[in-house]
Amino acid sequence: MGRAWALLKAHPYVSNMVGYTALFASADILQQSVLGGAGPSTAASESGDSPQADRSTAGIDWSQTAKVALVGFCFHANFNYHWLRGLERLLPGGGLRKITLKVGLDQLVAAPATISAFFIGLSLLERKEDPLEDWRGKFWTSYKTGVVYWSTMQALNFALVPPVARTVFVGGISLVWTVYLCHLRQQQTSTSH
């Protein structure tokens, strides 16, 4: 654990990016494995192949996982790294008032941005005809659930986690959140087919 902490402190951006992306992709694998949420991939649907053609014997749609990881890497990891650093610069330190302000700003700014990036980003990667369809149908449900979950988790993050490790902490708690988003996305997508 000491070496991991030293690496995180020496290379915070790279460590946070890699850690966050790995956790984000793991959430999709977990969601597919445990909840059985692997939906048909766009490539398989467009080619006329069976949805099973892109999956391993374990039933994982690796193409879907790669897309989730790409959205996690390109947007979520970067955004959260810079967002959390900016919040700390704006409102340095702890205390009830500052933590409450950080959580409030997080829910008003970061939550809508990250939820939107998830649904719209995946729709764009899947080349959906209407990339806003999932976002329109799932944003408010996700946001309302997220206000409860993320307010609690971010309060813990801002109160207990050193700033250098906050993005990785968010990546860890995002594991549960991303499982939820992937499952929500697959559940509603599969009922509309």
**What one-character-per-residue DSSP string does the chain give?**
-HHHHHHHHHSHHHHHHHHHHHHHHHHHHHHHHHH---PPPHHHHHHT--GGGGB-TT--BHHHHHHHHHHIIIIIIHHHHHHHHHHHHHS-S-SHHHHHHHHHHIIIIIHHHHHHHHHHHHHHHTT-SSTTHHHHHHHHHHHHHHHHHHHHHHHHHHHHS-GGGHHHHHHHHHHHHHHHHHHHHHHHHHHH-
Backbone angles phi, psi at 57, to 5 degrees: -65, -20
pTM reported for the whole predicted model: 0.80
Give the pLDDT of residue 174. Answer: 87
Number of domain units in the chain: 1
* Domain range enclosing 7: 2-192
Q: What is the pLDDT of residue 107?
A: 97
Q: What is the pLDDT of residue 58?
A: 63
Q: Quick one: pLDDT at residue 10?
A: 76
User: Consecutive 10-residue runs of the chain (193 residues): their mean pLDDT?
Assistant: 70 81 89 70 41 54 94 91 93 93 97 96 96 95 96 95 85 89 75 44
